[in-house]
Amino acid sequence: MLSIQDIHTYYGDSYILQGVSLDLQPGTVVALLGRNGVGKSTLVRSITGLTPPARGRIVFKGVDITRLPAYRIARLGIGLVPQGRRVFRSLSVHEHLQVTARGTGGWTVEKIVDLFPNLGNRMRSQGGKLSGGEQQMLAAARALVGNPDLLLMDEPTEGLAPLMVRDLGRAIESLKAAGTSILLVEQQLAFALRYADIVYIMSKGQIVHRCTPAELSADAQTKSRYLGV
């Protein structure tokens, strides 16, 4: 589904991703963990074409997407829930969902409302008038109506109240059941371990560990060294 092969990514002169490789099999959830500033969002930006790598290769569904512009990568079926929401202040919830709708079947506005009832009550509200949690839900909903084959979620639980974390968990379960692949960047270890099939850990721009959630749960040394827990 997704194969990241030894990518190196820079912001100007800052050398951030220093040879990252990662594989994601169809229909699986891969969790990407690591402390603040290690390069998790930079990896997401590299995949989506927002900050393309200077070296290395990224292959999605057999297509080399390393040098494709972001809009073409999105059209191939990669959805993004960006860190920090990024909703439009003056567009209503309904307009957000109309803008990103892609493909037929799968996720429709009606299904989204079933999944996120809070959002259903706010369809006519402007993005800027939503609470932080509602904006985060909208960011997830906007990615879902694009019916992606691969969904990249960059810290989707950040700033969410427990009830909304539960709704988001239900969304991930529905996506998994429908065969969607997910790359889940998370700070909440328990949440990541609950949904992941495979866990990768980053430190200082490199992948330093790959294991199953059960293995990580039992590995106090790795958790304290790379995750500070």
Residues of this chain that interact with ligand ATP (CB under 6 A) are 11, 14, 16, 34, 36-42, 83
Stretch that binds Mg ion, among 19-27, 33-41, 133-141, 170-178 (CB under 5 A): 33-41
The interface partner of residue 181, options being ligand ATP, Mg ion, none and the CB cut-off 5 to 8 Å by kind, is none
41 binds Mg ion (CB under 5 A): yes
Mapped onto helix, strand or coil, the DSSP state of residue 10 is strand
For the bound state, the minimum distance from the C-beta of residue 163 to ligand ATP, rounded and expressed in Å, comes to 24
Q: Residue 124 CB: number of other CB atoms within 10 A?
A: 9
> Which range, of 52-60, 75-83, 88-96, 221-229, touches Mg ion by CB under 5 A?
75-83
128: DSSP letter:
G
User: Do the strands 2-11 and 55-60 form a parallel or antiparallel pair, or are they unpaired?
Assistant: antiparallel
**Least distance between ligand ATP and beta carbon 189 (Å):** 13
**In the complex, least distance from residue 160 CB atom to ligand ATP, rounded to whole angstroms:** 15
- Between 174 and 187, name the residue whose CB sits nearer to ligand ATP: 187
**Cα separations in angstroms, 100 against 80, 198, 215:** 11, 29, 38
Residue 214 tokens read as: 């059960």
Residue type, 50: L
49 binds, among ligand ATP, Mg ion, none (CB under 5 to 8 A by kind): none
Q: How far apart are CA 162 and CA 75, in angstroms?
A: 33
Contact between 22 and 4 under an 8 Å Cβ cutoff? The reply is yes
42 binds Mg ion, rule: CB under 5 A: no
Residues 78-137 close enough to bind Mg ion by CB under 5 A: 83
